[in-house]
Structure 1
């Protein structure tokens, strides 16, 4: 007599394979309700990533996940948030109010731009589908009400003299406008959160807890350090401010006020803030020493005004090399140069991080993006040899993407000599040639023997100057053809000859 078979008779390996192909987490969540076997097979696919900030609540949540029998084995991605609650804002209400006004204005400007973009997209879509054009009257009542509320808020901000002078001495709390009352109450919440953050940071306790937690993740593959702008994780409700007459539509503009500042500080404090530099050098070193070995590491941060504070000690550099020892994909994004034009010693402080960061011997992909460096189009004070360890080759490096990176002709020769037989994709957009001629640079890059893809968009230096607007007279296609050995005519030499 044949045994009865059903789906629950499938081996756990088969169920595991089934759930690994289900991209919709909601479906996985519902599948857990079928049986205990389904629950055990599906649970690891519900949580595969974790995020941590320097707050007691966030750290406790990370520890809870990393101590869990199932989730500790399923988590493969961890994001460490560098953004912080600014102590200088928490200690000075007037400064907080200035920052509050600035955040509101930037938030509303962003909303206005997004609204205009959305409206243009709708019109373009109708044109493509040959739908008759529509007027603004066709927009639904909800959108019209939203625009009316935003217009009211703009008027409240721009035409309220009390608001514009909110940080001046003699501010009378008893006669505060509803907006000012909201800001004062949010200040109290912000200060409480900052105090919690500083308690967690005392004695580098936060680093101990993060390192201890991540050491319990046997399948950790991707580690990211992020510095997002405006982390909005709380929606203000009208029930929290019953006496002010604000509904949710109005309060949503204030959600951003309780967000932590970026690593380099806010627009109000970026010149005076002391960034939590331990979140780079010390934390990375300790992670390496504790045995954390990810395959991908991505660091995204804003450049603080005093960049030399990032400088890593020799012990920290050694620990960072351990962290990167098994990495195959490394990426570093640095933004915010418009608020800081660092001198050479400041940039060398950053280089003390970048050199050990890119020492991973098994790198396959290397990406560096210094967005808008230098923002005022001054000549950079460091070059590629300061930023990268060009002493020994990466045996498996296939893709090298550089944006806004300065280099000398000697740097390019050293790079090509190291990686001539491995690089298939090379991009150097917004590259700044500090010495030599661009005709020489093109000749040197032709030395990549396996190159398949090349990009040199918007070059600067030598013949291309330091133009603010994109360079339009660059023979890109001819340059690429020459570098890829599709032609034997160097277009930049040919131009000079003609």
Structure 2
């Protein structure tokens, strides 16, 4: 009879496999207390992801994690936050207060989109009644008193004229109402954080610190750059405002006022905000030069009003290529293209401005081991504007990707010749193609479909909402002929549905 085995006698590889499937961090923490063997096996899974923004506190925390004997080996994912504290807001109280008003209205809109609000609006409209103020949760009739309190909070917070009055020249701080005092104190905190951010950026010290920290992560494989619309780092607490009589339920609506700004700014700051462009150009180049080569890289950013500062030098482009030299998955999403005070105005971007963005996208996708490519210019060329660039400007179509399997090019403009070059490079590798909202800037769609049929191993394709040539600016509705187009590209049908009978005859 074989001797009984203790669980600790299992090979370390088996224990690693077990802990890699445990998603609960608390369970992993408790497992470390079982024995030294369990501690050694579980420790690498305690912290797998970390994020950093340009503040002294965040950078210090990243350095602490990356210098840690255990955690430095367990971290596989790093998210670099591109959103930042706007110097223009920090140095102009009046501008800050105007922006606060916009942030509050935006916060209100986000809450309006919650399911409970939609449900109550639908019921009210069917009953022919006026839509009641928003209730944060769909509560029962027995909660009417609580609901009424929340409705009052809604009205007092989002339709309060007191905050914009702070921007007036004759405003007297000594007579500030409790609402105004909250806004004033938030402004002081925002200004302090911006000053801290600018101290950290002096001489590009934040670039040095991030590069040095990430160099200590031997298992880093996923690097993300994120520029979210609204990011809430902190919650305002009642203990911070003991003299105003506000509880957390009221103060939660003001959390958004302390949020960093995305690169596109807001309606108030869109034309004046200066994004931290070095976080893409210089940081990516320096990371590549430092020997950091993740396998998964993604960039999600909002398009600033002025794209020219994004332009990379030749040395920086070379550094980005080094960063991407081992990448199997590369993703860029650029959103929020409107840059005027009204949606639909000023959305056009000149060619030289767009080429500044291309100076980043081209070396970014110059990854010889790429298997997954996604370029999503979400919303680009809406409102009747015509693209000023094409796919050959955005992607390096000179050399093939031997392992490229999936290509997603949503909202990307292309010429028929660009598609022909892409198919010639990748006809025997690509199995999935998605070109939704794609704009054909030169050539005919029937010819473009014929070209795309040249992919030999394609088993999935999507060309939803095509634009350009016969489709004009696009209708944002599904065309029934698309199913036939997809079937033709996949070689399930033998006749190009976009060709006329005369063309077939010839």
- Please, what TM-score do these two structures have when normalized by structure 1? 0.92
2:375 paired residue number: 368
Question: Secondary structure, in 3 states, of the residue corresponding to 2:114?
Answer: helix
Identify the match of residue 361 of structure 2 among 354, 362, 366: 354
2:399 paired residue number: 392
1:239-286 C-alpha deviation (Å, 9 max, x unpaired): 111111211111110111111111232332121122111000100000
1:453 paired residue number: 460
Instruction: Report deviation, 1:7.
Output: 3.2
Identify the match of residue 480 of structure 1 among 471, 482, 486: 486
Instruction: Report deviation, 1:10.
Output: 3.9
Distance 1:495 1:168 in 2: 69
Distance 2:148 2:319 in 1: 53
1:21-43 C-alpha deviation (Å, 9 max, x unpaired): 22222211121222232222211
Instruction: Report deviation, 1:146.
Output: 5.3
1:53-96 C-alpha deviation (Å, 9 max, x unpaired): 11111111111111111111111111000010111111111111
Instruction: Report deviation, 1:341.
Output: 2.9
* Residue correspondences, number: 483
Distance 2:262 2:294 in 1: 25
Question: Secondary structure, in 3 states, of the residue corresponding to 1:337?
Answer: coil
Is 1:148 matched up with 2:149? yes
Instruction: Report deviation, 1:150.
Output: 4.4
Instruction: Report deviation, 1:392.
Output: 1.1
Retained in 2: the 8 A contact 1:55–1:200? Answer: yes
Question: Secondary structure, in 3 states, of the residue corresponding to 2:110?
Answer: helix
Question: Secondary structure, in 3 states, of the residue corresponding to 1:429?
Answer: coil
Retained in 1: the 8 A contact 2:263–2:273? Answer: no
After superposition, the Cα gap between the structure-2 partners of 1:377 and 1:474, relative to the gap in structure 1 and judged at 3 Å, is farther
Distance 1:214 1:473 in 2: 48
Question: Secondary structure, in 3 states, of the residue corresponding to 1:366?
Answer: strand
1:104 paired residue number: 104
Distance 1:395 1:4 in 2: 51
1:138 paired residue number: 140
Distance 2:453 2:2 in 1: 70
Distance 1:204 1:300 in 2: 22
- After alignment, is 338-347 or 441-450 more displaced? 338-347
Distance 1:418 1:364 in 2: 14
Question: Secondary structure, in 3 states, of the residue corresponding to 2:409?
Answer: strand
Alignment of 1:59-78 (within 5 A): 59-78=59-78
Question: Secondary structure, in 3 states, of the residue corresponding to 1:321?
Answer: helix
Distance 2:91 2:182 in 1: 18
Please provide the CA RMSD for this pair: 2.3
1:377 paired residue number: 384
Distance 1:140 1:149 in 2: 14
Is 1:465 matched up with 2:472? yes
Instruction: Report deviation, 1:155.
Output: 4.2
Question: Secondary structure, in 3 states, of the residue corresponding to 2:80?
Answer: strand
1:422-472 C-alpha deviation (Å, 9 max, x unpaired): 1110110000011111111111111111111110000011111114x4144
Retained in 2: the 8 A contact 1:427–1:454? Answer: yes
Instruction: Report deviation, 1:4.
Output: 8.0
Alignment of 1:409-424 (within 5 A): 409-424=416-431
1:248 paired residue number: 248
Retained in 2: the 8 A contact 1:157–1:163? Answer: no
1:51 paired residue number: 51
Retained in 1: the 8 A contact 2:86–2:274? Answer: no
Retained in 1: the 8 A contact 2:97–2:164? Answer: no
1:281-320 C-alpha deviation (Å, 9 max, x unpaired): 1000000000001000000001110101100000000000
Identify the match of residue 493 of structure 1 among 474, 495, 499: 499
Retained in 1: the 8 A contact 2:85–2:197? Answer: yes
After superposition, the Cα gap between the structure-2 partners of 1:10 and 1:442, relative to the gap in structure 1 and judged at 3 Å, is closer
Question: Secondary structure, in 3 states, of the residue corresponding to 1:367?
Answer: strand
Structure 2 gap ranges (5+):
124-137, 340-346
Retained in 1: the 8 A contact 2:277–2:310? Answer: yes
1:127 paired residue number: none
Retained in 1: the 8 A contact 2:162–2:179? Answer: no
- Please, what TM-score do these two structures have when normalized by structure 2? 0.91
Retained in 1: the 8 A contact 2:399–2:425? Answer: yes
Retained in 2: the 8 A contact 1:464–1:471? Answer: no
Instruction: Report deviation, 1:117.
Output: 5.7
Instruction: Report deviation, 1:214.
Output: 0.6
Retained in 1: the 8 A contact 2:411–2:437? Answer: yes
Retained in 2: the 8 A contact 1:459–1:471? Answer: no
Instruction: Report deviation, 1:156.
Output: 5.0
Structure 1 gap ranges (5+):
124-135
Retained in 1: the 8 A contact 2:97–2:163? Answer: no
Retained in 2: the 8 A contact 1:281–1:312? Answer: yes
Instruction: Report deviation, 1:151.
Output: 4.0
Instruction: Report deviation, 1:165.
Output: 3.3
Distance 1:394 1:431 in 2: 22
Instruction: Report deviation, 1:99.
Output: 1.0
Retained in 1: the 8 A contact 2:348–2:386? Answer: no
Distance 2:473 2:501 in 1: 20
After superposition, the Cα gap between the structure-2 partners of 1:62 and 1:492, relative to the gap in structure 1 and judged at 3 Å, is same
Instruction: Report deviation, 1:12.
Output: 3.3
